[in-house]
A and B are shown apart, each in its own frame.
Chain A
Amino acid sequence: MKVLVAVKRVIDYNVKIRVKADHSDVDLTNVKMAMNPFCEIAVEEAVRLKERGVATEVVAVTIGPKAAQEQLRTALALGADRAVHIDTSAETDERVESLAVAKLLAKVVEEEQPGLVILGKQAIDTDNNQTGQMLAALAGLSQGTFASEVKLSGDEGDKTLQVTREIDGGLQTVELTLPAIVTTDLRLNEPRYAKLPDIMKAKKKPLVVTTPAELGVEVASKVTLLKVESPAERQGGIKVGSVDELVDKLKNEAKVL
């Protein structure tokens, strides 16, 4: 079974972001970028499926500027076999929204015919949590979102996928027919680090570049970003010296007890 895994280049999760002075967006110049943490988990799961002999091939795909190829190389170093880069550098508005991403991925799914597609549950920049679900709808496939466990069962040719999902009240397990879309939650696995020899080897693995135009997908969105601003600053608080003082302040000053 072929596994397709989608990765996104985002600002590193430890970086404290700055809003541009003109409020047009977040300032990404000279900021450390990395693979979205949820995508790392998706790659790790795909690679583990290959190590278990379930997956025959792992294909990593990204949509973004040329620099996003770094994240594809990372995925290759972690164990993906080959990569597809959908280059959006030519787009006048480089912000490619979830719906367009899902349409592009649906084209790749159509071409590659994977048995399973794994994505992160959300990107830590836009925090949308949409792409996997949209892809499932467009490709007409089942979805197992917010997965903390993925298990394949059944015979050759008649496999089903059991996905344990993190839901508000606890956990839910659903069984999906394949092909299926899975989005990863943090608890699915602990991603490995790429070793230096693997990073070197990854440079020789195949990486194909295509564009939205070649795939026949219009990426323009009907949603426009009018403004980006910093959230209201919290007032700096005070330090109290004792539990007595804390209880007193909560009762008499903040009046929350």
Chain B
Amino acid sequence: MSILILADHHDGQLAGATAHVVAAARQIGGEIDILVAGENVGAVAEAAAKLDGVTRVRVADHAAYAHQLAEPMGALIAELAGDYGHVLAAASTTGKNILPRVAALKDVSQISEIVAVIDADTFKRPIYAGNAIATVKSADTLKVITVRSTGFDACPDRGSEGGSAAIESVDTVVDNGQSTFIKQELAASDRPELGGARVVISGGRGMGNGDNFKLLDGIADKLGAAIGASRAAVDAGFVPNDMQVGQTGKIVAPELYIAVGISGAIQHLAGMKDSKVIVAINKDEEAPIFQVADYGLAADLFEALPEFEQKL
């Protein structure tokens, strides 16, 4: 059976997470189609066609799919899904919003945030904030699955000589009288995307206030890092919520994760404990973050951060 992947994209660009979903699909096996739905998504479709292992890119380019609202997107994918054994999407806010709707319309279960493929029916996924890993087997004829990007290495591009997958248009247009896009406020940043960054430096309640997050800027610049935060820092209004790392925020697994002034609650660890190397800077020597940190520095962050920046 073949696999349909919902492409994740923003501002006319294919999101990095899609390449990780293709990698998961290649482990499942079978022909891989990517659905690019949205408005003016020609460039996204071309980028998707370059991903190695993709057979066909199906493009639904219509105002009805602008901003990928769940109601029309769910109906579109449910209509296309009949030809496939698996429907996959990244476990991004887009995938999480749309795919359960598809599953319900097709009367099948959804398997959320898989981190490993055992075979075409069997998958591993974290439960209880990542404190247990469940192996689940689905007997549904259609498997609807979201993929945790950090569980799979991105599939490569075909390169300049590798050619492209075929691009076909999908003519289905779904009427949507239920929801209307009003506006979007996206955080502007020159830094790498949090989910895909090689290095992440995060601040917690210990940062004291939003201004002090500037102490992380210099270090992030030198390391090419993305800046994250704990829930405490977001709730206190230090930084916007899209920077939150954890069970309810973003899941990251960078090469290097630097936690500054973060105690290390279960819910935060859920979002970063698969990082390759974890560094904790915290003045409380008893903070739980030190139990998962490869390198811990018990020190006042206001002294340690400037010194760290200077020595990089």
Contacts and interface: CB of A to CB of B under 8 A. Distances in A.
A19 B132 CA distance: 7
A254 interface: yes
A134 B104 contact: yes
A131 B109 CA distance: 10
A240 interface: yes
B179 A175 contact: yes
Contact of B132 (A17, A187, A257): A17
Contacts of B191: none
The A contact surface, by secondary structure, is: mixed
A125 B127 contact: yes
A129 B140 contact: no
A227 interface: yes
Contacts of A166: 93, 241-242
B67 interface: yes
- Secondary structure dominating the interface of B: mixed
B295 A238 contact: yes
B263 interface: no
Interface string B281-297: 00000000011111111
Interface string B84-96: 0000000011101
Nearest to A121: B248
Contact of A234 (B111, B273, B299): B273
Interface in B246-260: 247-248, 250, 255-256
B109 A243 contact: no
A145 B128 contact: no
Q: Which of A126, A128, A165, A225 has the most CB of B within 10 A?
A: A128
A216 interface: no
Interface of B: 10, 67, 69-71, 74, 92-94, 96-105, 107-113, 122, 126-140, 177-187, 195, 199, 223, 231, 234-235, 240-242, 247-248, 250, 255-256, 266-267, 273, 276-279, 290-299, 304, 307-308, 311-312
